[in-house]
Structure 1
Amino acid sequence: MLSAFDIFKIGIGPSSSHTVGPMRAAQQFASALEQGGLLERTARVHTDLFGSLGATGHGHATDQGVILGLMGDAPDTVDPATVQPRLALLRKTGQLALLGRHAIVFDRVRDIVFLGGQSLPEHPNAMRLTAYAADGAVLSARSYFSVGGGFVVEGGTAPPASAVQRNWPWPFSSGDELMAQARASGLSVAGLMLANECAWRPEAEVRAGLLRIWQVMQDCVQRGFGIGNPLAATPLPGPLHMRRRAPELHRELTQAQQGAADPLAAMDWVNAFAMAVNEENAAGGRVVTAPTNGAAGVVPAVMHYYARFVPGASDEHMVDFLLTAAAIGMLYKANASISGAEVGCQGEVGVACSMAAGALAAVLGGTPAQVENAAEIGMEHNLGLTCDPVGGMVQIPCVERNAMGAVKAINAARMALRGDGSHYVSLDTVIRTMKQTGEDMKAIYKETSLGGLAVNVVEC
C-alpha cells in the first residue's frame, strides 16, 4: 500500500524521473556521506547516468537535478527562481557546497557523465554516484534507480519495515480487490482511501495536505497563463525555442466569454489548463507529479474543468477527486509502471488519463463500478502510446499530449456514467495489458529519443 502523497508529490520540472528522482538520489547520497562521517573528507563527487537518464538527460535537466540534490535541495522545497542563478555561480566559481556546507571542486562536464548507450539491469533509469578523497581514494559508491513519479530506490536495499507494516482498514492491491472492499464497506473509493490514509496521519492533516496539492496545481495553472509570471512571455528553454501557447489561449478564451456562446468552449479551456501546467513544467517550474511530471497536466486540467463547469464544485469534492485518482494510480504503480523509460508514455499520460477519468466519474456521482469502468476506458485507449520526446525535451509532443489526455479522460468518465458500471474489460486486465505492451515495446520508443517523432522532426 502506498499513500496518496506518494502519487501526488510537489516538485519542479521538467521531469519526475529525470529531474526530481535524481535530485532525491543525490541528496540521499550527500546525506549518507554526512551520516557516515565522510562529508568533510570528500573532495570530489562523480555521477554516471545510464540508460534513459543518459540518453535524454541533457533535455530533461538530469544534471541540474543531481547538482541541486548534492547541494542539499529537495524537490518540494527548492525555489525554482533561484536555480539558474545558483547554477551560473557554480559555473563561475567551479565550487559546489555539498549539503550547502562543504565545498568541493566541481566541473559539470567532467563530474556528470551521460552514458545513454549503457544500462544497468535493474531499471533503465539508473545512476551511480561516487565520492572521492583528495588522494583519489573511493570513499563511497552507490547506485540509485529513478523508477517513475519521483520514486527512488537505492541498489541493494529494501523498503524499511515501517513503510509497509500498517493497520490498513481496507487494503487492496488490485482493481478487483478495490471493488470488493467498496462492496464490503459500502464506502466510495475516496472513502476507502481516506480511511487508509488515516493509518499514516490524522484525517485533518490528510485533507489539508490534499488541498495543498490542489492549491499548487491552481498556482501552476495561473503561472502557466502568465499571471504574475513574466517568464511566460519567453520561449521554453532549449534548442527548440518553443513558444508558450497557454497565455495567448487564456487571453482569447477570457475575451470570448463576452461574445457568442461556443458549445465547445469547455474543451478549449481544458486544453488551456493542461498546456499551462506542462509549459510551466518544461520551464522548470513548480508542479505536482500526477503521477509524473511528464503527465502533470492531465489531472489538474480535469480538476479545473470540474471546478469551472460543474455547479456546486467544492474543496470537499477536490479531496475526493485526488483520493480516487490516487487509488487508481497506486494500482498502476504496484502492478505495472508509471515510468516512460520502462513502458512508454502509456505509463505516464495513459495512467494520468485513467486516474482523471475515474476520479471525475466519482465526483460526478458515479458508483465504484462506474469509477473502475471510467479508469479502464481511460487506459484502454492509450495502450501502446510511445514516449518519443523531440530533442529529449519535455515539450513536443508532451505539452499537447497532456491536453489530449485530459479531454480523453472527460469523455471516458461521461461514457462510463452513461452505463451501469458493467463492462467486459476490467481495470486489472488493462493494467496487465499495459505492462505487457510496455515490455514488448522497443527501447527506442521508451524515453530515449531514438525513435518516433524524436528522429523524424528536424530540430531547428
Structure 2
Amino acid sequence: MLSVLDLFRVGIGPSSSHTVGPMRIAARFLSHLVRHGHAAQTERLQVELQGSLALTGEGHGTPRATLLGLLGFLPETIDLDAAERALATLHVSHRLTLPGGQEIAFDPARDLILDFENIPALHPNGMRLTAFDGHDRLLSDKTYYSTGGGFIASERQLSAPVDDDRIGVRNDVPYPFGSGAELLHLCGAHGLSIHALMLANEDAMRPREETEARLDAIAGIMLDCIDRGLTTEGILPGRLQVQRRAANLWHKLQAAPLANERESLFDRLNAYAMAVNEENAAGGRVVTAPTNGAAGIVPAIIRYYCVDAERSAKDMRTFLLTAGGIGLLYKQRASISGAEMGCQGEVGVACSMAAAGLAAIWGGTPEQVSIAAEIGMEHNLGLTCDPVAGLVQVPCIERNAIGAVKAANAARLALHSTGPMRVSLDQVIETMRQTGLDMSSKYKETAQGGLAVNVVEC
C-alpha cells in the first residue's frame, strides 16, 4: 500500500506532473550518477523532455523545474528566492555544479531539448537524461516518467508486470485493499470507518504522532495558500495575461457578510478554490491534492466546512485520511495524470476525494462516503485537459471552483441515500480509466485540441 501522505505532496506550481515530477527526476538522475561513480567523470549532461512534457512544457514550467532539479532543489524544501537566483546565474554562466563539486558546462538552450515528436509508449510524460565523459563517451542513459501528482517511475519500473514493482513501495499494513469493494468489506468486518482504517494502515509506516503532525502540516500549507491567494492581486504570468480574481471576490464577500447564504456558499467555495489555483498558476507553493492542476478543490472544502465551521484539527485529519484513501484507489486502479486520463483524472479525482472527505466529517457511513466519491467522479467523466496556450490557467482555475461546488453537492446527495446505488465506486473508477484510454491524445494535456485551439490568443 502507498501512504496517504504520498498523495499530498508539497511542491511548486503550476503542474505536479510537469514541475514536481521533472524536478524529482532530475535529482534522481544526479543521485544515480553518484551511486554508480559517474558524477566525477561527467563532463556533459543532456535532458530531453518528451510527449506532454514537451508539448505543454513551456507553459507548464517544465524546463524551469528540470533546471532547478539539476541545481539541487527539491519540491518539498525549495526556497523560491534562492531558486530564482540560482537560475539566473546558470543562464549567464552556463555552468552547473554536480553533487561532489564537479563543475561542468551546461547551456539550457543547447542541453535541454524539447522533443515534440516523441510520444513515449509507456507514459506520455517522458524524460530522457544522458551523461557523457570528457571524450564524449556515454556514461549513463536513463529514461524516467512523471506519472501524475508528483509521482515518478523509471522505465524499468513502468515496464514491470507486478504492481508492487511498478509503484516501488512495499508497505505491509494491517488492512491492505485494492478496490473500493475490498475497502468497504474491511470497514464492515472490523467495525471501522474509512479514516480509522486508513490511520491504522499509516500506523504501520510511522508513529501516529508523526502522521498526525504531517497531516496537520499539510492542512496548514493548504490554508496558507488560500490566504495568499485571497490577498494577492495582479496578472498571472504568461502570454494570456489572465487577471487574478480570487482577491476581488473575497473583498466583495467581506463587504457583504450578510448576503444570501446559498450565494455566499458558492462564492466562498469559488474564492477559496481559485485562490489556490491562482497561486499554483503563479508558480507558488501548493499541495498536490492529488495534483497541482486540481489543487484547489480539497483545500476549498476544508476551509469552508472545517475552518469556517469551526471544526477541530481532528476533523481535518479525518477529512484528509478519507480523501487520501479514495485517492489511492484512483492511483492504484487507474491514473491521476492529466496526460493519461484528461482532466477527469485530476479535477474529477479531486472532486471525488473531497466529496468523500466531506461525507466523512458529516458523519456518513463508509457506504455513504463511497457513494459520495462515486457521485463526485460520475459527473466529471470525460472531462478533457485542454489548457489554453499550454498554461494551467484557462480553464483550469475556474474548473477547480466548479469542482469544489460539485464535491459539496455530491456529499449532500450521498448522505440522503438510503441504499446501494446502481453505480459502484469501482465501476466509476474503471469507467474513468477506459474513458481516458479511449480519449484522443489532443484532449490530454497536449494543448492540441479543445479550448486550446479554439480560443484565439490575443
| TM-score of the aligned structures, taking structure 2 as reference length | 0.96
Instruction: Find the counterpart in structure 2 of residue 250 from structure 1.
Output: 250
Aligned-pair CA distance for 1:112? 1.1
- Residue 113 of structure 2 aligns with which residue? 113
Question: Which among 432, 452, 456 is matched to residue 454 of structure 2?
Answer: 456
Residue 415 of structure 1 corresponds to which residue in structure 2?
413
CA deviation string 1:399-455 (max 9, x = no partner): 000010010000000011111352110000000000000011000000000000000
After superposition, the Cα gap between the structure-2 partners of 1:421 and 1:410, relative to the gap in structure 1 and judged at 3 Å, is farther
Q: Match for residue 399 of structure 2?
A: 401
User: Can you give the 5+ residue segments of structure 1 that lack an aligned partner in the other structure?
Assistant: 227-231
Deviations 1:308-365 (A, max 9, x none): 443x511000001000001000000001110000010000000000000011000011
* Cα deviation code 1:252-291 (max 9, x no counterpart): 111211x544431011010011001001011111100000
Structure-1 residue corresponding to 2:324: 326
SS of match in other structure, 2:153? strand
Distance in 2 between the 1:145 and 1:161 partners? 12
Deviation sequence 1:38-96 (CA, Å, 0-9, x none): 21221221111111111101111111111111112111000123333322221111112
Conserved 8 A contact 1:275-1:400: yes
Check whether the contact 2:276–2:286 (CA below 8 A) recurs between aligned residues.
Answer: yes
Hey, what's the Cα distance between the residues in 1 that align with 2:282 and 2:428?
33
Per-residue Cα deviation, 1:157-180 (whole angstroms, up to 9, x for no partner): 466799644431111110000000
Alignment CA distance shift 1:421-1:406 (3 Å) = farther
SS of the counterpart of 1:313?
coil
Partner residue of 2:207 out of 198, 202, 205: 202
Instruction: Give distance in 1, aligned partners of 2:108 and 2:189.
Output: 56
Alignment partner, residue 218 of structure 1: 223
Letter in 2 for 1:65: A
Gaps of 5+ in 2: none
SS of the residue corresponding to residue 114 of structure 2 reads strand
**SS of match in other structure, 2:408:** helix
1:186 equivalent to 2:185? Answer no
Amino acid at match of 1:190: H
Give the Cα–Cα distance (whole angstroms) in 2 for the partners of residues 271 and 368 of structure 1. Answer: 28
Q: Deviations over 1:174-219 (max 9, x none)?
A: 0000000010011100000000001110111111110010001011
Partner secondary structure for residue 58 of structure 2: coil
Aligned residue identity for 1:431:
I
Residue 117 of structure 1: CA displacement?
A: 2.2
What's 1:23 paired with? 23
For residues 165 and 451 of structure 1, the distance between their equivalents in structure 2, rounded to whole angstroms, comes to: 39
Q: Which residue number corresponds to residue 353 of structure 1?
A: 351
Q: Aligned-pair distance for 1:225? A: 1.5
Structure-to-structure mapping, 1:153-192, within 5 angstroms: 153-157=153-157, 164-192=169-197
- Give me the whole-angstrom Cα distance separating, in 1, the residues matched to 2:172 and 2:143: 32
In structure 2, do the counterparts of structure 1 residues 455 and 5 end up closer, same or farther at CA, with 3 Å as the change threshold? same
The SS at the match of 2:147 is strand
Amino acid at match of 2:177: F
CA RMSD of aligned residues (A): 1.6
- SS of 1:58's partner is helix
Taking the aligned partners of 2:362 and 2:53, their CA distance within structure 1 comes to 40
Q: Secondary structure at the match of 1:178?
A: helix
* Equivalent position of 2:262 in the other structure: 263
SS of 1:118 mapped into structure 2: coil
How far 1:371 sits from its partner (Å)?
0.2
Aligned residues between the structures: 453
C-alpha contact (below 8 Å) 2:131/2:141 kept by paired residues: yes
1:61-460 equivalences under 5 Å are: 61-99=61-99, 101-157=101-157, 164-226=169-231, 232-257=232-257, 259-310=258-309, 312-460=310-458
Contact 1:71 1:99 in 2 (8 A): no
SS of 1:156's partner is helix
CA–CA distance in structure 1, aligned partners of residues 366 and 326 of structure 2: 12
Letter of the 2:186 partner, please give it. Q
Q: 1-side partners of 2:245 and 2:419: how far apart?
A: 38
Query: Do 2:274 and 2:401's aligned partners in 1 also have CA atoms closer than 8 Å?
Result: yes
Task: Classify 1:331/1:109 alpha carbon distance in 2 versus 1 (closer, same or farther; 3 Å).
Answer: same
The answer as to whether partners of 1:41 and 1:133 remain within 8 angstroms in 2 is: yes
Matched-pair contact (CA < 8 Å) for 1:367–1:421: no
Whole-angstrom CA distance in 2 between matches of 1:55 and 1:161: 26
Write the distance in 1 (CA, Å) between the matches of 2:260 and 2:443: 41
Deviation at 1:156, TM superposition (A): 1.5
Structure 1: how far apart are the matches of 2:233 and 2:360? 37
Moved more, 2-11 or 163-172: 163-172
User: In the alignment, is the contact (CA less than 8 A) between 2:55 and 2:447 conserved in 1?
Assistant: yes
Deviation at 1:223, TM superposition (A): 1.1
Q: Would the aligned equivalents of 1:24 and 1:74 in 2 still touch at CA under 8 Å?
A: yes
Distance 1:98 1:251, change over 3 A: farther
TM-score, normalisation: structure 1: 0.95
